Chains A and B, each alone.
Chain A
């Protein structure tokens, strides 16, 4: 059996009204985390989580290049995201735009993602800062998490109950 080192869970905070910050530590050096983040075949293995199957992942990793991910959600509908790379420092930092294709006019008002990879003692600390143009959009993104399955919700209840004692 493969032993998988659980590196802890993601932490989400809201630094300002227009930002979402996600952080996560990985038990791997940063060149590998970067590789998993930027290689289409690898992205396809993790990006959908447990919510569906990846239909396609295209990544043209250069400044001005575009990316597009399409996932088939459990209910059968396709969900697409795309954007453009603004800044790339290999193994260190990526800045890209992100548009959710489910909302008309999304291209006029893309979110901006800044991903950083920092290595300490062979472990990588990843931060993903998403900046949007309004609090309403930010809250909508957070709300999208609510679409998650019931089971997930049930699992969380216990944790919530504990933390609120």
Chain B
């Protein structure tokens, strides 16, 4: 039996899905439930690597798994992913706001820079 994973936090989940290969897996699962072999083919990775990534995703609740006959079927757990997305995206949005304001400041500076022939230091 697989030992119970420690309680996953939103931050753990974020880190889990931040890895590019794991994002690819999530993308591949976005279309629906798929067996491991399918994912191995889709990603062009060796099965042990894919399994390792799937384990990480399972531990944070990003994917669910079930056995059907000899196959292990994985599916996306969008419900678990939404809070992760919200969590960092909201923080990201506050910085985006700042940087959007900074774009305006930079437009001003660029105009001045051109006007002064770059000699305004």
Contacts and interface: CB of A to CB of B under 8 A. Distances in A.
Contacts of A148: 90, 93-94
Contacts, number: 127
Interface string A132-165: 0001001101111110100011011001100111
Nearest to B89: A156
A22 interface: yes
B70 interface: no
Interface string B1-29: 00000000111001100100000000000
Interface size of B as a range: 35 or more
A32 B85 contact: no
Contacts of A2: 107
A55 interface: no
A35 interface: yes
Nearest to B99: A24
Interface residues of A, number: 48
A45 interface: yes
A63 interface: no
Given A6-B103, A142-B88, A32 B93 contact: no
Contacts of B97: 49-51, 152
**What does DSSP make chain B's interface, helix, strand, loop or mixed?**
helix
Given A22-B95, A26-B106, A32 B113 contact: yes
B7 to A, nearest CB: 14
B61 to A, nearest CB: 14
A95 to B, nearest CB: 19
Given A6-B103, A7-B103, A145-B91, A164 B78 contact: yes
A46 B93 contact: no
A152 B81 CA distance: 19
Interface of A: 2, 4-7, 9-14, 17, 22, 24, 26-28, 32-33, 35-36, 42, 45-51, 135, 138-139, 141-146, 148, 152-153, 155-156, 159-160, 163-165
26 contacts: A4-B107, A7-B103, A9-B92, A9-B99, A10-B92, A10-B96, A12-B92, A17-B11, A22-B95, A26-B103, A26-B106, A27-B103, A32-B106, A33-B102, A35-B109, A46-B99, A49-B94, A50-B97, A139-B9, A141-B91, A142-B91, A145-B88, A145-B94, A159-B89, A160-B89, A163-B85
